[in-house]
Amino acid sequence: MAEEKTNAEVETTTEATQQAVETPQQDPQEFLENFNWEKYEQGIERVDDSKLKEFEDLVAENFVDTADEEVVEGKVVYITDREAIIDINAKSEGVISLNEFRYNPGLKVGDKVEVLIDIREDKSGQLVLSHRKARTIMAWDRVNAAHDKEEIVSGFVKCRTKGGMIVDVFGIEAFLPGSQIDVKPIRDYDQYVNKTMEFKVVKINHEFKNVVVSHKALIEADIEEQKKEIISQLEKGQVLEGVVKNITSYGVFIDLGGVDGLVHITDLSWSRINHPNEVVELDQKLNVVILDFDENKSRIQLGLKQLEKHPWEALSDEIKIGDKVKGKVVVIADYGAFIEVVEGVEGLIHVSEMSWSTHLRSAQDFVNVGDEVEAVVLTLDREDRKMSLGIKQLTPDPWTDITTKYPVGSKHKGIVRNFTNFGVFVELEEGIDGLIYISDLSWTKKIKHPSEFTNVGDTLEVEVLELDVEGRKLSLGHKQTTENPWDKYETEFALGTVHAATISDVVDKGATIEFNDDITAFIPQRHLEKEDGKKLGKGDEAEFKIIEFNKDFKRVVASHTAIFREEEQRNVKAAVKRQAASADEAKPTLGDANDALQALKDKMEADSKKK
């Protein structure tokens, strides 16, 4: 009876066990909680081997071995302020600090995440998991796969570093260069910190495990599609909206939605500007017109001022030649100054129209940039949009009564304004310039260049020598204001006069002596010989005789040799005369000659007999 009861109990137990084994197929967790392991271990409850094998397979399929360090997938079942509760189908749920999910601030219940079992049981018996370690294990394979397949990855910008940003991608710290953040220049890097963004893996260094990502590459891919579409629709004269992308000294780059165009500085405004930032600013939205582009439409020339009416077209019809206008000096060149009469309309005042003076100077001597000036309209061409102005026309022409103010022979004072190789320009008053030829500077000095005699800015006394009213030319002289010293020197240093002086210089062909500040005489080489046959040298003092004096050419030639040579010649002539006189006295008569001849004949005959 007891045996039957036992068999019955066993059957009942087996049937219960079978039902219990079948239950996990529906809810393994419930089966584990209700299964009586103690009876099973004591053999009170027996389980069929086939059913037990089925149970073991079911457990292996549904439950995680917490001793295994493989990465497993878990499910977020609850989120607290600090932790996320993850179910990995183990005996208990695990916990992970939310700090490990900073890259994914959108984490929510139900999300599946990869985890690694960090601690099977902590002090409180809690299963501790690690998402960071799991990501690190899987990250390198994922990064390589993303690079090879050119996939888009999500990353969390952790912080800013030198030259770029540090991005958490799959748990790996990747580098995001500053140039790869956006297609446009970034001025504030901090705005991207603690943000999750999409990236493309552009470079991997397998040796050093370095990863470089780019957000710009994703933008460029989108822009490239937009660019193709925009370029295909471009036409000259088309007006488009763009954003100021970059400002340079020569122009402004405009982003037309993926395509960049350049507005040159001359096409920004009808008025003259010094720098584009006077008209536009970064990130400003504005309309521009397409002026031109190359065959590939890669270089697009844009215009901003062309959207407005040309200022010349709006210029009042009342302005005509001879009218007085006011304007501001906007540009100065050597040849003149540009005056903005109205915005976008400029006139040129040539330097010759700034003063009545025929001696031209730089425009900077008369006006400065920013000056408000009044001028007279000299020419006006509305078709070619050109206007010439004059300032000197506002004052009377000083040449009107020139013959009265500066008659020939009148003496005046003027200021040295300029030099030429042949003379000096002297300004008598504003608009009245005269020329002093180099030969009219001094009576006595031999001047090679005017700078040897005077300086720019010096005041000179002048005399009007010639006056050409039609040609507006005035010939002046400076030496004419003083007496010509050569008139008195002509008498003092007349031919044959003798003067004492010292040799001041010796040259190849002779030497020079200075009689005074005005007279410098030349002594030819042969006239340097002294009475003893030697020659005078530099510093030797002697007497010199004037052998040439030319007042017109200011030439004086002297000789030392001539002094004693002349005495010698006089002595020679006297000796010759004396010799001639003696000869005349000793001249023989005819009788004396006959006696001499007879004596000679007798001597010859006597000699002949002796032989």
Token digits of residue 427: 């300004």
3-state secondary structure of 8: helix
**Same domain, yes or no: 406 and 462:** yes
More confidently predicted of 582 and 348: 348
Query: Using CA atoms, how far apart are residues 498 and 544, in angstroms rounded to an integer?
Result: 5
pLDDT at 46: 57
pLDDT value at 532 more than 70: yes
Alpha helices in 457-558 (DSSP H): 486-492
Report whether pLDDT(12) > 60. no
Over the stretch 101-154, which tens digit does the pLDDT of each residue have?
887 888 889 888 888 887 766 666 677 788 878 877 777 888 888 888 888 888
Check residue 432 and give its pLDDT: 86
Of 274, 303, 310, nearest to 286 by C-alpha is 303
- Tally of domains within the chain: 6
420 and 348 in a common domain: no
Helix (H) or strand (E) holding 560: none
**CB-based burial label for 282 (10 Å; 0-12, 13-18, 19+):** middle
* 276 lies in some domain: yes
The terminus-to-terminus CA distance of the chain in angstroms comes to 224
Last residue of a domain, one of 254, 281, 303: 303
| 566 and 491 housed in the same domain | yes
Please indicate, yes or no, whether residues 358 and 412 belong to a single structural domain of this protein: no
Q: Which domain, by its residues, includes 299? A: 234-303
Using the predicted structure, report yes or no on whether residue 592 has a pLDDT greater than 50.
Answer: yes
62 or 102, higher pLDDT = 102
H-type alpha helices, 200-277: 216-232
On whether residue 318 sits in a domain, the answer given is: yes
Asked whether residue 459 falls in the same domain as residue 496, the answer is no
Please tell me whether residues 186 and 247 are part of one structural domain: no
Which tens digits make up the pLDDT trace of 397-423?
888 888 888 899 999 999 998 888 889
Q: Are residues 162 and 212 in the same domain?
A: yes
Regarding whether 171 and 210 lie in a shared domain, the answer is yes
CB-side neighbour CA atoms (13 Å) of 166: 8
Average pLDDT, the chain: 79
Kindly state whether residues 417 and 472 are assigned to the same domain: yes
pLDDT per residue as tens digits for the range 242-299: 999 899 999 999 988 778 889 999 889 888 888 998 889 998 999 999 888 876 666 8
pLDDT of residue 105: 81
CA distance 391 to 502: 61
- Residue 570's pLDDT is 63
**Beta carbons within 10 angstroms of residue 211's beta carbon:** 27
Please, what's the b/e burial string for 1-36 (b: 16 or more CB within 10 A of its CB; e: otherwise)?
eeeeeeeeeeeebeeebeebbebbeeebeebeeebe
- Confidence at 600, pLDDT banded by 50, 70, 90: low
Q: What percent of the chain has pLDDT over 70?
A: 78
| Nearest residue to 175 via CA among 185, 164, 190 | 164
Q: Are residues 245 and 171 in the same domain?
A: no
Considering the domain architecture, whether residues 521 and 545 belong to the same structural domain is answered as yes
Domain end residue (candidates: 571, 589, 604): 571
Q: What is the CATH number of the domain that holds 561?
A: 2.40.50.140
3-state secondary structure (DSSP) of residue 248: coil
**Strand bridging mode 94-97 / 127-130:** parallel
Q: pTM for the whole thing?
A: 0.40
Q: Using an 8 Å Cβ cutoff, are 51 and 18 in contact?
A: yes
In-domain check, residue 454: yes
Q: Is residue 534 part of a domain?
A: yes
How many angstroms separate the CA atoms of 348 and 336, rounded?
7
pLDDT at site 264 = 93
CB burial of 136-170 (b: ≥16 within 10 Å; e: otherwise) equals ebebbebbeebbeeeeebebbbbeeeeebbbbbbb
Cα torsion for 370, 374, 378, 381, to the nearest 10°? 50
Q: How many CB atoms lie within 10 A of CB 591?
A: 8
Residue 8 forms part of a structural domain: no
Decide if 461 is inside a domain.
yes
The two three-digit tokens of residue 568, written as one number: 């010698």
Residue ending a domain, choose from 454, 481, 508: 481
State the helix-helix crossing angle for 49-62 and 2-22, rounded to 10 degrees. Answer: 30
Asked if residue 122 belongs to a domain, the reply is yes
Position 475 in a domain = yes
Same domain, 411 and 389: no
Amino acid at position 202, single letter: V
